A and B are shown apart, each in its own frame.
Chain A
Amino acid sequence: AGGGRLIDRIRKWYYNAAGFNKLGLMRDDTLHEDDDVKEALKRLPEHLYNARVFRIKRALDLSLKHQVLPKDQWVKYEEDHPYLEPYLKEVIRERREREAWNRK
């Protein structure tokens, strides 16, 4: 239990050090958009997709003005949901299945 908490503290420190939460972004907003991610984004339900587009727009605006959000609006480590992860996992699983079939 103690070891688990230590890993969590390191994770939290790294998350805050990375800094994208200061622009109001979640981790899944920052994923590099390769083919798998593009396909997973096509499958996102509408409300999640709209929220993502809003956050990215807001971050672009802040970056252009060389500003960050006020401290109380930074995304907290506990509140960061990996919303894209289930869809992304499924896309990758399907791609691997296709490749396995084609190899046989």
Chain B
Amino acid sequence: KRFYSLKVAPKVSASATAAKVKLSPESQGLEITKLPNGLVIASLENFSPASRIGVFIKTGSRYETTTNLGTTHLLRLASNLTTKGASSFRITRGIEAVGGSLSVHATRETMAYSVECLRDYVDTVMEYLLNVTTASEFRPWEVADLQPQLKVDKAIAFQNPQVGVLENLHAAAYKNALANPLYCPDYRVGKITSEQLHHFVQNNFTSSRMALVGIGINHSTLKQVAEQFLNIRSGAGAPGAKAVYRGGEIRKQTGDRLVHAAVVAEGAVVGSKEADAFSVLQYVLGAGPLVKRGSHVTSKLAQGVAKATSQPFDVSAFNVNYSDSGLFGIYTISQAPDAGEVIKAALNQVKAVAQGVVTDADVTTAKNQLKANYLMSVETSKGLLNEIGCESLVSGTHTSPSAAAQKIDSVATADVVNAAKKFISGKKSMAAAGDLGNTPFLDEL
């Protein structure tokens, strides 16, 4: 049965040394194999009528340098450009004809190309997916026609003030790598060339940094596909720079009545025990509303800030983990005149937790919220695919939900207090946007 019509298909015999990864019995149905060239293949056969397949690549905006900023943004938009096996028109019409969809999702460290379709048409969409990830041609005229789309994409994203604040936060907190913006800087729009895209793909889309994940597809099919078609570029590619935390602040005066501000310190690395503690701390402090239009009873931050101001506000703990660093802190949205009080009240709450004003009951509530949030996020096939993919990239294995819940339970109250202490004592970074007349600077906090 001829599955795929890629013109570039080096014939590789099935390697006898492909290692099957041992998983705990709770990860039923999930099979992971690691090929000798470093590619990780994971699949979960759940017999659902729709399949979802993703190619996860350990690359992102952190691997850009100052000479090629914005390349990953354009790559995100370029997923439907002509490839060696199919023209742009054919990819679009072909995927539409079988009722599938192709999407790209990129963070600072991971890019995920995923397709979903009905099970019967998996072969067709898989062909397009492999074409797009390995054999894209980036024809100069197509790339040039795509550049105005960068502006549109950026404008849509920046309608949300949070996006701007988080970009500035990373630019303030780090010297390099993680400081690179997710969205193309304005001066680079129109200047990204096809050669830069090719160069980036050659250096970063290599087998040892990729994972092929499928849900609703059997393992041997995926393995055969991976061995035949994802062997194009081997090696580790260009290594990224190690992120260096510096702790700065960036303020953007826009005159908006609502001030968005984020104050963070360096947090935990993904997968470490500290990361679990910071996650629990995040939920102890309050990580978003659980009841719509409710009064945030369990959120320490919200309760603390409510005593400081009667104006509308929103506050939550901010936590993000990367492969060699992390950020933890608070994110506040407040009225411009109150901004100072809100931020100070929120920081005082964290200080209180660092001094031990946190009960075991608070920690248990937080753990339950964290577990519920995590488990609900892997309920959908999209969330599950992302979770399996990201974990395969980082560690090449999979933590079953019950093991993840156990890890969360093993966090002690003392760990939470230590995490809060680390935030209080760490060098802070800050980003703020809005009418900043009453927003304090970092040295005033």
List chain A positions with a Cβ less than 8 A from chain B: 42-43, 45, 94, 97-98, 101
CB of B87 closer than 8 Å to a CB of A: yes
Q: Would you give 14 A-B contacts (Cβ < 8 Å), ordered by A?
A: A42-B141, A43-B139, A43-B140, A43-B141, A45-B140, A94-B87, A94-B89, A97-B87, A97-B89, A97-B90, A98-B89, A101-B89, A101-B90, A101-B93
* A-contact 0/1 string along B356-374, CB 8 Å cutoff: 0000000000000000000
* A-contact 0/1 string along B86-127, CB 8 Å cutoff: 010110010000000000000000000000000000000000
Tell me the bound Cα distance from A42 to B139 in angstroms: 12
Closest to A42 in B: B141
Tell me the bound Cα distance from A92 to B93 in angstroms: 18
On chain B, the residues within 8 Å of A101 by CB distance are: 89-90, 93
Given A97-B87, A101-B93, 4 more A-B residue pairs with CB atoms under 8 Å apart are: A42-B141, A43-B140, A43-B141, A101-B90
List chain B positions with a Cβ less than 8 A from chain A: 87, 89-90, 93, 139-141
Say what secondary structure dominates the interface of chain B: helix
On chain B, the residues within 8 Å of A97 by CB distance are: 87, 89-90
Closest to A46 in B: B140
On chain A, the residues within 8 Å of B141 by CB distance are: 42-43
Tell me how far the C-beta of B347 lies from the nearest C-beta in chain A, rounded to whole angstroms.
56
On chain B, the residues within 8 Å of A94 by CB distance are: 87, 89
Tell me the bound Cα distance from A30 to B349 in angstroms: 78
Closest to B89 in A: A98
On chain A, the residues within 8 Å of B89 by CB distance are: 94, 97-98, 101
On chain B, the residues within 8 Å of A98 by CB distance are: 89
Closest to A87 in B: B141
Tell me how far the C-beta of B430 lies from the nearest C-beta in chain A, rounded to whole angstroms.
46
Tell me how far the C-beta of B284 lies from the nearest C-beta in chain A, rounded to whole angstroms.
57
Closest to B86 in A: A97
Closest to A102 in B: B93
Closest to B142 in A: A43
On chain B, the residues within 8 Å of A45 by CB distance are: 140
On chain B, the residues within 8 Å of A42 by CB distance are: 141
Tell me the bound Cα distance from A43 to B144 in angstroms: 10
Closest to B139 in A: A43
Tell me how far the C-beta of B302 lies from the nearest C-beta in chain A, rounded to whole angstroms.
55
Closest to A94 in B: B87
Tell me the bound Cα distance from A97 to B89 in angstroms: 8
Tell me how far the C-beta of A57 lies from the nearest C-beta in chain B, rounded to whole angstroms.
24
Tell me how far the C-beta of A49 lies from the nearest C-beta in chain B, rounded to whole angstroms.
12
Tell me how far the C-beta of B136 lies from the nearest C-beta in chain A, rounded to whole angstroms.
16
Tell me the bound Cα distance from A98 to B90 in angstroms: 8
Closest to A98 in B: B89
On chain B, the residues within 8 Å of A43 by CB distance are: 139-141
Closest to B141 in A: A43
Tell me the bound Cα distance from A94 to B87 in angstroms: 8
Tell me how far the C-beta of A90 lies from the nearest C-beta in chain B, rounded to whole angstroms.
9
Tell me how far the C-beta of A45 lies from the nearest C-beta in chain B, rounded to whole angstroms.
7
Tell me how far the C-beta of A50 lies from the nearest C-beta in chain B, rounded to whole angstroms.
16
5 tightest A-B contacts by CB?
Answer: A43-B141, A101-B93, A94-B87, A98-B89, A97-B87
Tell me how far the C-beta of A18 lies from the nearest C-beta in chain B, rounded to whole angstroms.
31
Closest to A104 in B: B97
Tell me the bound Cα distance from A19 to B225 in angstroms: 56
On chain A, the residues within 8 Å of B140 by CB distance are: 43, 45
Closest to A44 in B: B141
Tell me how far the C-beta of B299 lies from the nearest C-beta in chain A, rounded to whole angstroms.
54
On chain A, the residues within 8 Å of B90 by CB distance are: 97, 101
Tell me how far the C-beta of B376 lies from the nearest C-beta in chain A, rounded to whole angstroms.
41
On chain A, the residues within 8 Å of B87 by CB distance are: 94, 97
Tell me how far the C-beta of B354 lies from the nearest C-beta in chain A, rounded to whole angstroms.
61
Tell me how far the C-beta of B293 lies from the nearest C-beta in chain A, rounded to whole angstroms.
50
Tell me the bound Cα distance from A98 to B139 in angstroms: 18
Tell me how far the C-beta of B98 lies from the nearest C-beta in chain A, rounded to whole angstroms.
13
On chain A, the residues within 8 Å of B93 by CB distance are: 101
Closest to A43 in B: B141
Tell me how far the C-beta of B171 lies from the nearest C-beta in chain A, rounded to whole angstroms.
35
